[in-house]
Amino acid sequence: LSRERQANIRARQAFLSGRARPLEFRLQQLHALMKMIKERESDIATALKQDLNRSQYDTPLLELTGLENDIKMAINKLAVWAAPRPVERSVLTLRDQVYVQPQPLGVVLIIGAWNYPWALTLGPLIGAIAAGNAAVVKPSELSECSSLLLRALLPRYLDKDLYPVVPGGVSETQELLRQRWEHIFYTGSSSVGRLVMEAAAAHLTPVTLELGGKSPCYVHPDCNIRVAARRITWGKFVNCGQTCIAPDYVLCDPSVQNQLIECIRLTLLEFYGADPKSSPDYGRIINQRHFNRIMSLMEGYTPVIGGQSDASQRYIAPTVLRDVPPQSRLMQEEIFGPVLPLVAVSDIDDAIRFINEREKPLALYVFCTDQKGIDKMLEETSSGGILINDVLMHYTLNSLPFGGVGQSGMGRYHGKHSFDQLSHHRSCLVRSLTMESVHLSRHVAPHFHLGRHLVLVLVWSQISSTVQSPVRVSCGSL
């Protein structure tokens, strides 16, 4: 048997043993995962430095703090999340137990991403553990150092049978996708997402797809351009632009382009100094293939900011391009790099038309102080998430569901949303064998043609003798 198949079998046998179901075990595993993150933070930061030139400052901010918050919430709320959830009863079920019971799905496959290899791999794992599942973890081979470290650490802290780590590249992922799972959680590109969904269809496996796409950013002329530029610059160029919810391009009125460009230039100088290449806070492109892809997207343009590159270091300077044609290749593909196109629109209605003519984005950013303009954007657009006057920060709030819509993905996670996404919500109705007269209508009415009012009298008389508080009954519902 292949290593991938063995991992599936091992996790399935461990799940069927029942040891992942007790809340005490789930809590113990969550505490162990928290311990791993805290004890190994330095090793994780070193691996990210080697993979992406991630700064020591950004590692907690971008990867670990969010994971710790998710684990703390799961530990504190797990008993509530996993408890039966009462639902409304009808007249005919007033004396029954009627509730929804969250149950583990079974064995989940988690395919992680390379741009945030810890947050985007362990985040779904937190939900899988909290929901009582087994999970096979497949980290991305592109973030090689993080992948190797995760493979070494996870079995030391977590149950190695319930949560095995499978390393490897495309062929190993394909082998995993040929197998049966109860759920597949994938974070990455839309092209691979289609392949994941196609493979899942063979076993009717439900999927969560976090795919990204081109997330627009609209800057209204009435906003504080300096503040907007500062926030956009941070969100676009952190992690060298390799963020699925980074502002992909900016829509703005031609009258504010020059001011916006100048404010971005000043912000870049503040963030990374005169030479971002030598800044300890500026990252690198993950590999040569992605470096070449991003460089090819810039061909034919004269940057108004940046444009410098060094293939030997996979370095591309923070770059801004102005007056980019909407039909250009740069506007057809997700950039996923430190290149920010500015696209001219005449007003907010033109911006809304531009956004709605394209696939629904994972995130939409709007910088505006006019409430009517804000309401217009909220009401007339669709996206996985929307932020007004900031970028990226919705990802940090685990009370909000994070996920896409349409081509930008399906499903959602973070906090309780992760637990719910990776649970089966079982409908439960528990009834006594007594009080048959209450249910007489469904058995005898078709044969003896009992009228609606007679049925109501039978039901009401039985309820009146057992329920002390008054109950309103609608004849139209019987």
Active site residues: 210, 244
Q: Kindly give, in sequence order, each residue whose CB lies less than 8 Å from that of residue 293, ignoring residues fewer than 6 positions away.
A: 337
Q: How far is CA 130 from the centre of its chain?
A: 17
Distance CA(232)–CA(238), nearest Å, equals: 10
Distance CA(231)–CA(392), nearest Å, equals: 9
* b/e code 147-173 from CB counts within 10 Å (16+ = b): bebbeebbeebbbebbbbbbbbeeebb
Q: 114 near 142, Cβ under 8 Å? A: yes
Cross-strand pairs, 409: 210
Distance CA(412)–CA(401), nearest Å, equals: 6
Q: How far is CA 10 from the centre of its chain?
A: 27
Report the C-alpha dihedral over residues 115, 118, 120, 123, rounded to 10 degrees.
-170
Closest-CA residue to 139 (of 129, 130, 148, 147): 147
Cα separation values, 188 from 81, 149, 161, Å: 28, 20, 26
